[in-house]
Amino acid sequence: AQTVTQSQPEMSVQEAETVTLSCTYDTSESDYYLFWYKQPPSRQMILVIRQEAYKQQNATENRFSVNFQKAAKSFSLKISDSQLGDAAMYFCAYRRENNQGGKLIFGQGTELSVKP
Amino acid sequence: DGGITQSPKYLFRKEGQNVTLSCEQNLNHDAMYWYRQDPGQGLRLIYYSQIVNDFQKGDIAEGYSVSREKKESFPLTVTSAQKNPTAFYLCASSMRTGGPMNTEAFFGQGTRLTVV
């Protein structure tokens, strides 16, 4: 069974600084997708970034980038130039890809606080 | 506008009662999911469905039931067999297949269930 682990329950960063959130996963599949979702206090889940396992290039979305290490099964999220609005719960997620679709599995979450 | 709608936003249940949480989407998505969110435990998968009239148990299905009679709807019933139902419940939907740009899951705004 696939599992996703986020070992940092809480993280803190100074405004304008950079922070990295960690995520590891376990799977025997070769084709899959990885995601980072953000959940602000409103509790609405927002997709931050996605990574296809078959791509070696790390995904980037503006101030957000990932470090995808497929052999190590590691998928960390880097937030550059942190802003107050980045404060939220962040979830790492995994989805297998096949013709029958696949369930979306989440980690335990990391609560990020941003200090002004 | 396309989206996914959960109702009600808040729900109170007396012990021993069954309650049903509604989830409707107009995104033409095949796959739908139910998650339970508790502090410190992330999102845990209760049930998921890839197509109409078919669904699978997730990691914590005991005490819950679902149906998928229509593509747009995936209601969750919390039965009296669920011993600790107080939690935040999130419904999500996604395309079942179709490549990387179709893998994103869209979430409802959640239902907060409290046992009184």
**What is the pLDDT, as a whole number, of residue A97?**
72
Q: How far does the CA of residue B59 sit from the closest CA of chain A (Å)?
A: 10
**What is the pLDDT, as a whole number, of residue B100?**
61
The whole-angstrom separation of Cα A53 and Cα A68 is 8
Q: Which residues of A touch B48 (CB under 8 A)?
A: 103-104
Q: What is the pLDDT of residues B62-86, one digit of tens each?
A: 999 999 999 999 999 999 888 899 9
Length of chain B in terms of residues written: 116
Interface of A with B (CB under 8 A): 6, 9, 33, 35, 42-45, 47, 50, 52, 91, 93, 95, 97-101, 103-109
Confidence at B1, pLDDT banded by 50, 70, 90: low
**pLDDT surpassing 70 at residue B16:** yes
**What is the pLDDT, as a whole number, of residue B101?**
63
Partner-chain contact B40 A9, CB within 8 Å: yes
> Could you tell me how many helices (H) and strands (E) chain A has, helices first?
0, 12
**pLDDT surpassing 90 at residue B60:** yes
Partner-chain contact B90 A6, CB within 8 Å: no
State the best of A32, A106, A110 to mutate against chain B, taking most chain B CBs within 10 Å: A106
Question: How do strand A110-115 and strand A10-14 relate by DSSP bridges?
Answer: parallel
Q: What is the pLDDT of residues A47-104, one digit of tens each?
A: 999 999 988 899 999 999 999 999 999 999 999 999 999 999 999 999 887 655 567 8
| Long-range contact pairs involving A61-68 (C-beta distance under 8 Å, separation at least 24) | A64/A36, A66/A34, A66/A36, A67/A20, A68/A34
Q: Which residue of B has its CA nearest to A6?
A: B42
Of B40, B88, B97, the CB nearest to A108: B40
Whole-number average pLDDT of chain A: 92
